[in-house]
Structures are given as C-alpha cells and as structure tokens.
Chain A
Amino acid sequence: MSNLVLMVGVFVFSFVVGYFLISRVPTLLHTPLMSMTNAISAVTILGVLILFSVPSTRFEQMIGSVALIMVTFNLVGGFTITDRMLRMFKKKQEGNNP
C-alpha cells in the first residue's frame, strides 16, 4: 500500500512540477521541447533493460530486443535531433558555435 502512495505521489508531483516548468517554456521552443520530452519518454528503456536482468525465454528475448531497438531509437534519435534543432537557434551577437 505504501508503494501505491509513493508511486501516485511521485506521479502527481512530477506532473505538477512539469506543468509549471513547461508552462514557462516560450512558444519559440515548442518543437524542440516536444522533441526532447519525446526522448525523455524513452525512459521506458530502463524497464526494458530490467527485463533482461532475469533469466528469460527465447520469446521474451525476442520481444525485448524489438522493444529495446525501438526505444533506443527513440532515446538517441530524440536527443540528437533536439540538439541539432537547438543549435540552429542563434542570436547574432553571441556567435554560437556551429
């Protein structure tokens, strides 16, 4: 039961904190924001890794592998493209690195 309270608590807390933080993100950055949160949602990778931490059947390994490839793609691709996008947002004076 205490687990349930903790989990719901973490969910609500993160949702509320996330809500306030994200409300402050300027519309300018909405696309990179979405792309980054998308990559963060690939945190599922932790769960998939845990799948592989106990002895598993062939079938489970197969499903796990597909899931792992998809979620790694999501994670790596998401952060990479967000980075690429954000580097394009430039200000004249600052002369950011290319």
Chain B
Amino acid sequence: MTLVLDFCLIGVLIVGIWLFHRPAEAKYGNLTAAAALACAMGLVIYRYGIMHPFVVVICLLVGGVIGIWVARKITMIQIPAMVAFQNGAGGIAAFFLSFVELMRGAGQMGAINEMSGLVNLAVGSLTFSGSMVAAGKLAGVLKQTPTILTNHTRLVQANLGIVILLMLIAFFLPGTAAVVFYLIIFALSIGFGILFSMRVGGADMPVLISFLNATTGLAAALCGMIIENQLLIACGATVAASGSILTHMMCRAMNRSLYHVFIPEKAPEKPVSTMDELPENNLFSTGGQMTEPEQTIHEEMSEPEKETPDADPLKTAVHQVQTADTVVIVPGYGMAVAQAQFEVIELTRLLMDMGKQVIFAIHPVAGRMPGHMNVLLAEAGVDYDMLKEMDEVNPTFAGTDLCLVIGACDVVNPAAMETDGSPISGMPILNAHEAKQVICCNLDDKPGYSGVENALYQNSNTLMLLGNAKQTLGQLLEALTETPAAVQEKLTAQDETAGKEASAAPPMEKAVNRLMSGEKIIIIPGYGMAQAQAQFQVKELADLLESAGKQVSFAIHPVAGRMPGHMNVLLAEAEVDYDKLIDMDEINPEFSQTDVALVFGACDVVNPSAIHVEGTPISGMPILNAHEAKTIVVCNYDTQPGYSGVGNTLYDDPKTILLMGDAADTARELTAAIQKKR
C-alpha cells in the first residue's frame, strides 16, 4: 500500500516534468510537482508521526518564509546565484540527514544503507561548499576569475583518494568510533568542493551550476537509499538526470569537455611543437611556414581589401599598429643586443602622437641583471611611469590590442605555463599571448636560452618580423610615417570616439538607417545586456521595429548568460513573447537572409574566431552566425574580448557598426532616433 502511494506520487511528479515540454504549460508543471511534494510531506507526517511538532513547525515556517521572501525579492539576473545557493542548502541538508542517520544506526544498519550514508556525507558536503563558492562568484562576492593553486590537480586527486579510503575504514569500523571519521570526511569534502569550484571561471559557470544540480539530485537519491524511501530515490534520480543533461549540453555548447572545465588547460595555445621541428637547419623558411597561413587568416578577417594572402608581413604589421588603440611593448635582451632601444622610443613617441596608449611590460628576469630593461629604457629617455612590472601588467594583456615583443623570448613563452618538465615550467611569464595581436621583432624564431620552443610564435594572432630588431623597427617606423593618410584617418576616427556626443552621431545614424531600411532583424542578447539591465529598452526597441512592419526575432545562444536558458528568463521578464526567442540551431540558417543582426552585450557567442581560428579557447564552439547578416550593429560596452579572452573579429568586419557604451542607453538612443525618423 505504501509503495503504491509512493509510486502514484512519482507518477504525478513525472507528469509535472512532462508539462515542461511546452512553455505555456510549464507553470502547471511546476505547480504539479510542488503539489506532489506537498502530498508526500503530508503522507510522511501521517505515516510516521512527529515527535517534536513545535520544533518542526517553527523550522518549516522559518525556512518557508525566508524562501518566499527571497524568491519574491530576487531579480532575474541573480537567479544563477540563487540556484547555486539553493543547491548548497539541499546539499548540506542531505549531509545532516546522513550524519544523524549514521550515528543513530551505528552498528545495526544494513550494509547498503550505511554505504549510501557514507557516500552521501561526501556528496552532500562537497555540493554545499562547491555551491557556496559558485554562488559567491555569481553574486560578485568572490572574483570570477579562476583561482589555481600550485599542484591543484594533485591536491584534488589526493583529497578524493583520502575521502574514499576513510569511507572504507569507517564502513568496517564497529559502533560509534566511526563518528570521528564522519567528521574528517565532512571537512575533506568541504575542501574538495572548494578546490574544484574555485578554478572554474565566469564563462564556465553554467557547467558548474548544472553539475552541482546533478550532485544535489544524487545526494537526495542517496538519502532515499539510507532510509529506504522510494520517493526520495525517484526524485533524486530525476534531478540527477536533469543536471547531467544540462551539464552535457553546456559543455557541448562551449566545445569543452567536463574534465577540461574542472581541470582547465592553463594556456589557450596550441601545444608546443616537439623537438624534431627545431628550425636549426633552415630558420627563415620555417618562419615563413609559420606565419603565412596566419597572415591569411588576418587578412580574411580584418583586411579583406588586400588581394594576396602572402603580402609583406611588414604591411600587415603596419596595419595592425595603426588599428591598435592599446599597445604593450615587451622588451628583452635582444633589444639591448641590437641596441634598438632608441628606435623603440621613437616608435613609442609616434604611437603616442597617434593617440594610442603605450606601456612597457618589464619581466623581472629580462636582461642580464635585475632591472636591466628599466635602466636601458630610462637611458633612452622613457618616462618611468610607462614601465610596468609583470604582476601589474599581466591582467591587462587580455584587453590589449597589440603586444610588440622586441628581442624577448623565454619571458613570453606560454610553454612555461602549460608544459610540464621543461626548464621553464612554472616560470612566471608576461602573458603576451593574451593580447589580441602580437608582433615579434626578434632576430630569429629559435628558442631562447632555455632551449624550449616558443609556443607564442605559432599562435594564430602572432606576426613574426624576423631580423635585426634595429632594422626591423626602422622599417616599421618608415612605413608608419609613410602612410600619413591612413594615420590621419585613424586619428579622426579616434577623435570621434573620444567625445561621446560626437562619436554617437555618425555610426548611430548609420545604424538607424540600416534598421529602418531592413526587413528582417535578429536581436542577439548577451550577458552584457543583463548587466546593463537593458532588456526593457531592448524590448521597447523590438516593439518599435515590429510596429514599423519589420520581422524581429531574438537569437538565443545556449550558454549566453550565467546558467542554461538565462537569456530567455531575462527577456521573459521584459515581457518578450517567447515565440520570438529562437534557438541557435534553428536561427543560424536564417542569418544569411537577415538585414540587420543587432548584438546587445554579447561577445564570445558571436565571435567568428570560433570558426576560423584554431587553438583559441573558443575554437570549435558553436556560435550564432551574426557575421553572415548583411549588417551587424554591435551595442556592447566596449570592444574588449569576452570571458574567453579571444578578440572578437566580428568587430573588425566592414559590415559591422559599433555603438559602444551602456547597452540600455544605446537602445534608448536607437529607439528615440527611429521614432524621430518615422
């Protein structure tokens, strides 16, 4: 009889989940599931009775009131943090339950029940601590960047091993002596949860949350195994299934394996080439082989006007220097050897006259003595304010347009971070590889003093200008001063972006014209829209465009936002019709017939580098093909790369109109401008 009732409730619950397959019925599904659980609670109280009704009622009231209060108050952007926190609450409750059951049953428990309890001590507490770290990161209490300890992976493995060992010991220990082990398992599992979630970065959060969702489900199912309650097992298993599916989907959407989310590769580069590729026999041809295909990529993406793929690397370099706004120069001993520091200074002055921001990144061991580079550059007349230390400059590389490496090798070799066992493994380096563009003015592409091949040279965004640094820089300077027209053009463009009012006008007008003349418009929302809380303005704009007879839809990338389906919720909050929210797979074929793709605060999910460039963290990630639209209007805060740190080549597309600034303001301005025109 009890089993029959249990299975009926499981059936109701399944109906509840089944109702989720259509948006219009989903809310009944939710209520059905809630009702099933309420009935189950009633049933349990009826069957077992309650010894301390006062305590129970108080606890139910406290938890319930807080739950409702928080759920009412929270905004949609905080949902991921809330879900993470709730996962944690479920996890710790499962731990407490297992703990009490194990203590009570000491000695007389069935083997299966006891084993489930022991496993659940670990699963419950790691879910708790992992979720708390995730919630902290999502709520902005903890920083979102991955934190990686030395020997992190080994720590995690050791921790896991010890926990399993302790479980076995506790299992065979008779009576109450095992309690100490329970507590140690608890402490270690808490540590385990922290260890694996701390190194998951902002963009990988959807995976972490989904994964913790699955472990909470597992914890609930294990609770069911301890007390032999089928309903608990069934519910727990369903949640575990749901969490697993979502984890899998999120991983696929980012082209990452679960393993790599939790054990991240330290640097995004391609693996270092093996020693047999050493370029000693013919160094220049090797250099050519390396750079040629890469140039092709640059030209396809940013300079379609160039005819030949094997154009002079110097020309490409000139173009890159001209288009960069922020430049970091990494000097090395090679610069000193070539006595090129004076050319470097001349170049620096020129760049600064062009309105670019230039700094020097000084590695502590560059040169032949501590502070060697500083002395050399000071000698050449560089303002010491421009000389930045490694720790200070490293975080800024990702936002740097161009990194100019002059005669430095080992200190910018990303192999130091990723390859174990080489002489430079673990050496702190200047993260030049994170810059959008790297130009290396080195004598050759041979390894530096360490003898380790420089992986940076093989990066797709690295341009090699081989030869004597003094001569190379001289040529570069000449070429730069030769094209004053281009410089002038760049300068005016910069003047425009300088003042907000002045800048807004021409691109804004262009964007408005395109929007007015277009028929089919696709809006691509990203987390930036959520952060600017711009969904309401975006919705207003969409309505306006629709009332002008245009076909407007929203393209939703599976990992846009901070948890699966986050964008849908945010747009639903702004009352966007859910029929207009289209999945990536469904909408991608439509971009080529789209007049305007309107990007609001999305970056990585529309970055064509994912398709064209190999060896970046997002290579192979499915993206929304916004670049196929006839015009792309990007309303982002800035042109910095997204979480992946990969520069967005969409921004360089000649079809792209950039409207930088707060997305809500931009949307408002667009709406106003269109209204005026009509």
Interface residues of A in 42-67 (CB under 8 A from B): 42-56, 60-61, 63-67
User: Quick check: A74 and B26 within 8 Å, CB to CB?
Assistant: no
| Chain A min CB distance to B201 (Å) | 20
Give chain A's interface residue range (CB within 8 Å of chain B): 35 or more
Return the CB mask of B546-567 against A: 1 if under 8 Å, else 0. Answer: 0000000000101000011110
User: Quick check: B79 and A31 within 8 Å, CB to CB?
Assistant: yes
Q: Does B83 belong to the interface (CB within 8 Å)? A: yes
Distance between Cα atoms of A80 and B229 in the complex (Å)? 26
Distance between Cα atoms of A14 and B221 in the complex (Å)? 10
Q: Which of B27, B33, B83, B92 contacts A34 (CB 8 A)?
A: B83
**Chain B residue with Cβ nearest A94:** B24
| B100: A residues at CB distance < 8 A | 51, 56, 60, 63-64
| Chain B min CB distance to A59 (Å) | 9
User: Quick check: A44 and B220 within 8 Å, CB to CB?
Assistant: yes
Q: Does B71 belong to the interface (CB within 8 Å)? A: yes
Number of A-B residue pairs having CB atoms within 8 Å of each other in the complex? 358
| A3: B residues at CB distance < 8 A | 110, 112, 228
User: Quick check: A44 and B242 within 8 Å, CB to CB?
Assistant: no
| Chain B min CB distance to A22 (Å) | 5
Distance between Cα atoms of A82 and B566 in the complex (Å)? 13
**Chain B residue with Cβ nearest A38:** B86
Q: Does B96 belong to the interface (CB within 8 Å)? A: yes
| Binding stretch for chain A, among B47-55, B375-383, B388-396 | B47-55
| B10: A residues at CB distance < 8 A | 14
Q: Which of B86, B229, B575 contacts A46 (CB 8 A)?
A: B229
| Chain A min CB distance to B587 (Å) | 12
Decide yes or no: A81 and B224 within 8 Å by CB, A26-B583, A30-B564, A33-B242 being known contacts: no
Q: By DSSP majority rule, is chain A's interface helix, strand, loop, or mixed?
A: helix
Distance between Cα atoms of A11 and B232 in the complex (Å)? 9
Decide yes or no: A77 and B68 within 8 Å by CB, A61-B55, A90-B577 being known contacts: yes
Decide yes or no: A31 and B564 within 8 Å by CB, A10-B230, A46-B44, A52-B52 being known contacts: yes
User: Quick check: B572 and A85 within 8 Å, CB to CB?
Assistant: yes
Decide yes or no: A79 and B223 within 8 Å by CB, A14-B10, A15-B241, A71-B63 being known contacts: no
Q: By DSSP majority rule, is chain B's interface helix, strand, loop, or mixed?
A: helix
User: Quick check: B237 and A84 within 8 Å, CB to CB?
Assistant: no
Give chain B's interface residue range (CB within 8 Å of chain A): 35 or more
User: Quick check: B79 and A63 within 8 Å, CB to CB?
Assistant: no
**Chain B residue with Cβ nearest A80:** B71
| Binding stretch for chain A, among B211-219, B311-319, B635-643, B654-662 | B211-219
Q: Does B329 belong to the interface (CB within 8 Å)? A: no
User: Quick check: A56 and B52 within 8 Å, CB to CB?
Assistant: yes
Decide yes or no: A11 and B568 within 8 Å by CB, A29-B26, A52-B56, A55-B51 being known contacts: no
| B33: A residues at CB distance < 8 A | 36, 39-40, 79
Decide yes or no: A28 and B239 within 8 Å by CB, A80-B72, A85-B572 being known contacts: no
Distance between Cα atoms of A69 and B210 in the complex (Å)? 24
Chain B CB count within 10 A is highest, among A23, A25, A31, for A31
Distance between Cα atoms of A6 and B67 in the complex (Å)? 34
Distance between Cα atoms of A18 and B239 in the complex (Å)? 8
| Chain B min CB distance to A80 (Å) | 4
| B66: A residues at CB distance < 8 A | 69, 73, 77
Q: Does B469 belong to the interface (CB within 8 Å)? A: no
> What are the 6 tightest A-B residue pairs by CB atom distance, in nearest-first order?
A72-B63, A30-B565, A77-B67, A30-B564, A18-B241, A76-B67
